[in-house]
Structure 1
Amino acid sequence: MMRLSVMGMIRGIGLAAIGILMVAGAASADTLKPTRSEVEILTARAAEVIEARGIDAAREVFNAEGEFKFGEIYVNVIDFTGTWLVYPPRPASVGYKVVNLKDPDGKSMVQDILKVAQASGQGWVSYRWLNPVSNRIEPKSSFVKRVAGKELVAYIGVYE
């Protein structure tokens, strides 16, 4: 019983920290970066939204500015075949099979993301990617989370 209340408290603190980032406003959100811990909490929350509402409703939430999309933060969702189901920087890419997509250094990042989700259920994957705020290729680490009971993976990255 104590573990549940402590876990709830930790989650509440993390969500409060993310809320503070959002309240700071869109202009300053571009300069504020969430911590890796905050990204883990936000990714877990994104997976919960998918689980509770389904992918179509979640896509609408993830594409709108707010809790899941601010500054350089956005939620990606792929299925186990490596097909993009949510990609806020370019929604027209939804439906593309990106399993063989590589970063500018030739790293098979989507395959790495799928391996982590399938083997461990969650974890970090590092690669380089285009930052939508700076419009530059930058090092990025994404926290990967498998959606419970589904062959879906939600992930959010933070540029370093």
Structure 2
Amino acid sequence: MNRIFTGIFTGVRRTAGRLVTIALLAAGLLATGPAAAQTARPTQEDAKALTLAAAELVAARGLEEATKVFNADGAFKYGEIYVNVIDFTGVWKAYPPRPAGVGQSVINVKDPDGKLLVQEIIKVAKDTGEGWVEYRWMNPASNKIEPKVTYVKRVPGQELIAYVGIYK
């Protein structure tokens, strides 16, 4: 899967290139299938590549259309992988594990150690546009609190943040 992301993102430029990137990403993952993607544990590179593609998808097609893609099993939702989108006030705009949670404020959500992780996600997006946030979270696969790392990307030109996390 890493080869797919490397090939897709090499030499892609500007808006037209971004749309091609999104299409190739989806086609590449769908060609191998979500099941193939699940056989190997997702890496930080995978989380970063999906986050970048998700932010570009929101910018290119709008939040409503992108959310339909994020909620469907496929390139952006498989195994433990899914795309979250929040706004700068900490309100969920897309949350595939529980779409009914959309519209709820998660601004004060803390990890088990008391880290205000949503506030940190917003800070990274506002201050640098993108980057990593580390915290601990309940892994539904193991039913244990485990370290998690999430890649955060501000949607270009919008007060929206896309992010994808993996358990370490």
State the TM-score, normalizing by the size of structure 1: 0.83
Distance 1:127 1:21 in 2: 30
Distance 1:50 1:24 in 2: 22
Asked if 1:23 is matched to 2:32, the reply is yes
Q: Counterpart of 2:54?
A: 46
Q: CA deviation at 1:6?
A: 4.7
- The match for 2:107 among 99, 109, 127 is 99
CA separation of 1:158 and 1:22: change in aligned 2, threshold 3 A: farther
Contact (CA 8 Å) 1:89, 1:132: kept in 2 or not? no
Contact (CA 8 Å) 2:29, 2:37: kept in 1 or not? no
Q: Counterpart of 1:8?
A: 12
Q: Counterpart of 1:114?
A: 122
Distance 1:73 1:115 in 2: 23
Q: CA deviation at 1:138?
A: 1.8
1:61 match: secondary structure: helix
Unpaired runs of 5+ residues, structure 2, are 1-8
1:96 match: secondary structure: coil
The CA RMSD measured in Å over matched residues stands at 2.5
Asked if 1:148 is matched to 2:156, the reply is yes
Asked if 1:138 is matched to 2:142, the reply is no
Q: CA deviation at 1:142?
A: 0.3
Task: Kindly report which structure 2 residues correspond to 1:47-126, keeping only aligned pairs within 5 A, or say none.
Answer: 47-126=55-134
State the TM-score, normalizing by the size of structure 2: 0.80
Q: CA deviation at 1:39?
A: 1.6
Q: CA deviation at 1:24?
A: 5.5
Deviation digits for residues 15-34 of structure 1 (CA, Å, limit 9, x no counterpart): 77x946972643x6445222
Contact (CA 8 Å) 1:31, 1:71: kept in 2 or not? no
Identity of aligned residues (%): 57
Distance 1:137 1:21 in 2: 31
1:8 match: secondary structure: coil
Number of matched pairs: 151
Unpaired runs of 5+ residues, structure 1, are none
Distance 1:75 1:84 in 2: 11
CA separation of 1:6 and 1:32: change in aligned 2, threshold 3 A: closer
1:138 match: secondary structure: strand
